[in-house]
């Protein structure tokens, strides 16, 4: 049966719910081995899946664990998910903005994957911040302060967790059907009524073309319809890093600066305002324009920042303890001109080499290292100007030429 299923998909044929259920649950139980699952995943990557197969796979992922019931919280619960990027700290900004406007945010996030950073790693750069809340703690905090940011519990879509780890090391991460089933199963299992997906496209993203992003968007909407969940998508650029900071502590600091109203321009600020406005509009059933006004007010009157402080305190974090390495190297421009592009993927790799992310599952992260962009796309650069500042430690591997080549000045 195992080989038959692999061969059927290899030949591009449709698998039934029964076949998918047998194979994927067999993997969870240990009957189907890593090499057999890798083979099926690669066949799926190459031959794709029909809509029926994708709905079935999403259901199998959801049913592998618990489904949270958030009906004890009044109001529409909107969850947001990003397909992964470089310098993407939007959750840290959006969640407190939205919660401060009376929309409950109960969000389960992940760790960094491949070259992309994860919200949970960023939160852990705040000393003491507990990212492993129990279901009871989640419910209590949601009722007390209306905001929870925690790691995915072991009981939520455990099959996705196991499959994702395998996809990560078998070149099968960027399959559109697999991404759709992975994300939608987690969002549905975590109890959201409405779901906002930020689909990243470009050099630093899983998807490289707008066409693929559009395909993923329509697939996720179809899955949402099937499960009676409203799904909205935003397709956003990931050719250049989001914001100026890459690296865990640095990203928390930049998120706080937006919440404090210190940063009011740039791609990160714009995307945060857009996503937060969309979430508030979906939750309250108001126009995007009205939601936008509320979002800007929440920053202006500091209620969003105060909500973030409440969140940090409730989860045991000490914001004053967020540290950035004191080992600093400044990278200067060798020529003058206009900064035309900053390569997100290349800088994500530099950041991994500095120790800000994991190359293997068991690697430890140094929260204090990373990159700060002193120049962003469109800036005029003079010879000798600082392009970026590198925060490193004694184990960091710093490739100055690679860093300089990440900036194209014309
Ligand atoms: N994020 C997920 O959670 N799953 C994917 O497959 C890709 C991005």
Residue 113's pLDDT is what? 64
Residue 129's pLDDT is what? 98
Residue 116's pLDDT is what? 74
CA distance 284 to 267: 26
Terminal CA-CA length for the chain: 58
Closest ligand 1 atom to 167 CA: 6
Q: CA–CA distance from 137 to each of 48, 71, 130, 189, 357 (Å)? A: 40, 16, 11, 18, 28
Q: Is 182 in the pocket of ligand 1 (CB under 6 A)?
A: yes
Specify the residue with its C-alpha closest to ligand 1, atom 8.
83
Specify the residue with its C-alpha closest to ligand 1, atom 6.
179
Q: Is 85 in the pocket of ligand 1 (CB under 6 A)?
A: no
Between the CA of 178 and the centroid of ligand 1 the distance, in Å, is 8
Q: Is 183 in the pocket of ligand 1 (CB under 6 A)?
A: yes
CA distance 13 to 16: 10
Nearest to 202 by CA among 346, 333, 310: 346
- Which helix (H) or strand (E) segment is 149 a member of? strand 147-151
CA distance 334 to 383: 5
Token pair of 162 as six digits: 């196991």
Closest ligand 1 atom to 186 CA: 3
Give me the catalytic one of 109, 182, 185, 190: 182
Closest ligand 1 atom to 173 CA: 6
Q: Cβ distance 181 to 226 under 8 Å?
A: no
Token pair of 198 as six digits: 């930020």
Q: Does residue 160 carry a catalytic annotation?
A: yes
Per DSSP, the three-state class of 100 is helix
Between the CA of 170 and the centroid of ligand 1 the distance, in Å, is 15
Q: Cβ distance 376 to 266 under 8 Å?
A: yes
Please give the average pLDDT of every successive group of 10 residues along the chain, which has 410 residues: 96 97 97 96 97 97 92 89 92 97 90 76 96 90 95 87 87 92 94 94 92 97 94 96 97 98 97 98 97 98 98 98 97 96 95 87 87 97 97 94 96
Tell me whether residue 405 is exposed, middle or buried, using C-beta atoms within 10 angstroms of its C-beta: 0 to 12, 13 to 18, 19 or more.
exposed
């Amino acid at each position: 049966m195992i080989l038959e299923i692999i061969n059927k998909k290899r030949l591009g044929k449709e698998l039934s719910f029964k076949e998918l259920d047998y194979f994927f649950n067999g993997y969870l139980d240990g009957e189907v081995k890593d090499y057999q699952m890798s083979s099926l995943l690669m066949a799926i990557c190459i031959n794709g899946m029909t809509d029926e197969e994708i709905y079935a796979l999403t259901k199998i992922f959801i049913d592998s664990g618990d489904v949270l019931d958030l009906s004890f919280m009044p109001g529409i619960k909107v969850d947001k998910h990003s397909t992964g990027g470089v310098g993407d700290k939007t959750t840290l900004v959006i969640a407190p903005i939205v919660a401060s406007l009376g929309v409950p945010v109960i969000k389960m996030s992940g760790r960094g994957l491949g070259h992309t950073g994860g919200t949970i790693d960023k939160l852990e750069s705040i000393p003491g911040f507990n990212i492993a809340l129990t279901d009871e703690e989640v419910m209590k905090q949601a009722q007390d302060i209306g905001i929870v940011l925690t790691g995915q519990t072991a009981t939520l879509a455990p099959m996705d967790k196991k499959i994702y780890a395998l996809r990560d090391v078998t070149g099968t991460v960027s399959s559109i059907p697999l991404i759709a089933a992975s994300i939608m199963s987690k969002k549905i299992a975590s109890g959201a009524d409405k779901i906002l997906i930020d689909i990243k496209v470009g050099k630093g993203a899983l998807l490289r073309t707008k066409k693929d992003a559009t395909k993923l968007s329509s697939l996720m909407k179809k899955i949402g319809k099937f499960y009676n969940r409203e799904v909205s998508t935003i397709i956003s650029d990931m050719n250049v890093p989001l914001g100026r900071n890459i690296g865990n502590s640095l990203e928390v600091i930049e998120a706080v600066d937006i919440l404090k109203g210190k940063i009011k321009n740039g791609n990160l600020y714009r995307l945060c305002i857009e996503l937060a406005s969309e979430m508030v509009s979906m939750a309250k059933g108001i126009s995007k324009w009205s939601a936008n006004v509320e979002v800007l007010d929440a920053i202006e009157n500091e209620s969003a920042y105060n909500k973030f402080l409440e969140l940090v305190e409730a989860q045991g974090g000490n914001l004053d303890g967020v540290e950035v390495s004191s080992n600093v190297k400044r990278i200067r421009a060798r020529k003058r001109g206009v900064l035309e592009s900053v390569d997100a993927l290349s800088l994500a790799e530099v950041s991994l080499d500095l120790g800000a992310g994991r190359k293997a599952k068991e690697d430890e992260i140094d929260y204090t290292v990373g990159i700060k962009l002193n120049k962003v796309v469109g800036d005029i650069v003079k010879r000798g100007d600082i392009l970026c500042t590198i925060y490193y430690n004694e184990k960091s591997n710093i490739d100055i030429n690679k860093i300089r080549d990440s900036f194209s000045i014309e």
